[in-house]
Amino acid sequence: MTSNWFKRFGWFYLPVSVAGGIVCLIAFIFCLTVFAAVDRHSHSVSDTFYGIFPFFVCTFLMLDWIGSRTSVK
């Protein structure tokens, strides 16, 4: 049994179920928390960008992977 959590919209995946919405919400909260933690100790905008980049890229790649596995084809 396959469940469709996301629908492909161009390059992005939009949640079409509660499970997809929860995955997106968790990713958003994680990115917000990482941004707040990194920005607290940064001295410039570039410090913040360098600090959040690896976490944001991994999170968005994970969302893309989950979206591709659970999307409407």
Full residue range of the structural domain in which residue 37 is found: 28-73
Residue 71 has a pLDDT of 87
> What is the structure's pLDDT at 15?
93
Q: Is residue 55 in some structural domain?
A: yes
Q: Is 62 inside a domain boundary?
A: yes
Give me the residue label for tokens 């591709």. 68
Q: The pTM is what?
A: 0.85
Averaged pLDDT for residues 25-53:
95
**Residue at 60 is within a domain:** yes
Number of folded domains in the chain?
Answer: 1
Q: Is residue 3 part of a domain?
A: no
Identify whether 1 is part of a domain: no
Task: Copy the structure tokens of residue 58.
Answer: 């991994």
Measured in residues, the chain has a length of 73
* Mean of pLDDT values over 3-31: 93
CB 28, CB 62: distance < 8 Å: no
Place of tokens 């933690």: 37
What is the strand order of the sheet 71-72 is part of?
A: 12-15, 6-9, 71-72
